[in-house]
Structure 1
């Protein structure tokens, strides 16, 4: 497997595609979508371009057609997903790999967009895990400065960027359907820093992974996961979990199954995202949230001890289903310096 290459970056004034490759979130929650589009213009100097399925539920084939149109248009310099979802895996069979390979562009997405990021990785293109329009750009109050700095560097830059622990983070979500949500800043808690395990070496490699639940689906479908585990030798694994709050047993079993497939041992380092510990379906209290996070950490350590005992692990990295959010290159270079307790990426 060849190392993915970085696509050309946009500059201020360029057009960027805004797509809904999974859930048509803007059709249900127009407020954060409109706010995200407005901030793309005013704060990032870009011209968003929507497509037929951006604001309506569409078939997998229709969504694939919009992806093709966005990548094939020479005037479009980057592609943003509006939000995640749960069925992007059904879109991938309709994609034209050669068309996308011939027109590489930065793609920003997370959650269910892990499927498309995997597809780009296998196509030889670096993608970007994070930066969705509705959740990051359409955040109530304002785009968090921590998120904005990372997104801006990923969007416009190619330099090395040092990741930092977020100074604060949000646990409890606001209801997008409530008017009060849009008049106040989200409630935040003080940052807790990162947790390091076996931080006794320096690892540098290209990144792979994404949302653990979507990765599990890809493993079951045997779709975008390379059959030869050697394809991931020396890569940096990045994993995070969603607002569905998968139990620690599910996290362990997914990692165990990756181990049985011969995958887990290929990764000398793992960046584990700060877990989401609250949702509208499971509004856990503070004690239950702490237990959930601790149980997830124990599950990760149990799996790596069994299948990747030499691996270095960094916990609570602020990417994925987090606020604020770091954008991570998907297939780009990540350097994990254990002794210095530093993580840097190349955008």
Structure 2
């Protein structure tokens, strides 16, 4: 039996969404990009994005005051005029928020929270509080995409957060990119980035259909969380479909294997229902092949050569991104090459 997670109310057109800087305060250095994200969210989804009280106070203040960042989350949860929350951007130190986060407040006021990368820390605390959370684009990334929000991103957000909740099939993106655009150059905001043709998913192993609640995030960030009081209890991992991705730090395939070996030692892999691996940013084809060898090797060590695994999925640090409802159910059908998600 999967744990029960509260589904937050939908974010429909007209919803007010708080922009939270829970990690880096970098946004003040690229305010043109911030305003582009606000415009594109309003134009595509109909949400009104409003900054939390401390969100635009700059990197120095937010670095020195992790409690103020947590206060912004609590403000958004308490505020009846705020219907959901979106992370402005990731970073590398939101683990410092753990002593200040109020899980009882998260559970008492369940609201949709969207983000990825370092936001993995806070998304995981929503799961620990028994509330679904949404692994998807942040305000400065795919929501402020150059030339307008990608239709693939908009479709994923609508299915996960806007429409009446019903199961839907994930699909590979028709194109993808990891091209770095200069956000500080506002003349480039309407210049579309170059994209590669979509290269589809890779089913690595497994033949039987499997179903479980989605858990996971960015592996580097989960490594920061591992061993802290914010790490999920074993029963939350039991029966989960793990959704794991890597960042622009481009960890070597062997390092990904070592992290997975830790999950095996904790019993997480033994109890998992399935595994979604994101397209790894910055990997060469040879590195991808090596990654897949490491994944199969560690799963074999853990006695899970049966585990359904689909790789090269479009979430995380390449664009366009899917939005995955963490805590929602995912069904993997290797025979049909199908992944169905219930938001």
* TM-score, length basis structure 2: 0.94
Aligned to 2:143: 137
Q: Is the 8 A contact 2:209 2:334 kept in 1?
A: yes
Matches within 5 A, 1:70-89: 70-89=76-95
Q: Does 1:155 align with 2:161?
A: yes
Inter-partner Cα distance in structure 1 for 2:264 and 2:102 = 31
What are the superposed Cα offsets for residues 149-205 of structure 1, whole Å, 9 maximum, x if unpaired? 101222212111210011111132222234553242111011111011234111111
Residue 265 of structure 2 corresponds to which residue in structure 1? 260
- 1: CA distance between counterparts of 2:46 and 2:235? 42
Equivalent pairs, count: 335
Secondary structure, in 3 states, of the residue corresponding to 2:45?
A: coil
Is the 8 Å Cα contact of residues 199 and 339 (structure 1) preserved in structure 2? no
Distance in 2 of aligned mates of 1:313 and 1:5:
27
Q: Secondary structure in 2 aligned to 1:255? A: helix
Stretches of structure 2 that go unaligned for 5 or more consecutive residues are: none
Match of 1:295 in 2: 290
In 2: Cα distance, 1:299 partner to 1:30 partner? 41
Cα distance in 1 for residues equivalent to 2:24 and 2:45: 25
8 Å CA contact retained: 2:33, 2:186: no
Residue of structure 1 in register with 2:316 after alignment: 320
The equivalent of 1:202 in structure 2 is: 209
Whether contact under 8 Å (1:230, 1:266) holds in the other structure is no
Query: How far is the alpha carbon of 1:327 from its aligned partner?
Result: 0.4
Matches within 5 A, 1:183-194: 183-194=190-201
CA contact (8 A) 2:45 2:154 kept: no
Distance 1:223 1:302 in 2: 30
1:283 aligns with none
- Show the counterpart of 1:111: 117
Deviations for 1:290-321, whole angstroms, at most 9, x for unmatched residues? Answer: 22222222222221121132211100000111
Select between 122-131 and 89-98 the one with higher mean Cα deviation: 89-98
Unmatched segments (≥5 aa) in structure 1: 279-288
Aligned to 2:50: 49
Distance across 1 between alignment mates of 2:85 and 2:66? 18
Match of 1:63 in 2: 69
C-alpha distance in structure 2 between counterparts of 1:269 and 1:50, whole Å: 37
Equivalent of residue 274 in structure 1, options 273, 279, 284: 279
SS in 2 for 1:176: coil
Matched residue, 1:15? 16
In 1, distance between residues paired with 2:27 and 2:16?
19
Structure 2 Cα separation of the partners of residues 39 and 151 of structure 1: 13
Say whether the 8 Å CA contact 2:206–2:306 is kept in structure 1.
no
**2: CA distance, partners of 1:171 / 1:134:** 14
Match of residue 332 from structure 1 = 328
1:235 deviates by 1.0
Q: Could you report, residue by residue, the CA deviation over 1:3-37 in whole angstroms, capped at 9, with x for unpaired residues?
A: 21211112211211111111113112222211111
Residue in 1 that maps onto 2:339: 343
**CA separation of 1:177 and 1:291: change in aligned 2, threshold 3 A:** farther
Length-normalised TM-score, structure 1: 0.93
| 8 Å contact from structure 2 (residues 20, 55) kept in 1 | yes
Alpha-carbon distance in 2 for matches of 1:151, 1:317: 16
Residue 140 of structure 1: how far off its partner (Å): 0.8
Deviates more, 1:202-211 or 1:41-50: 41-50
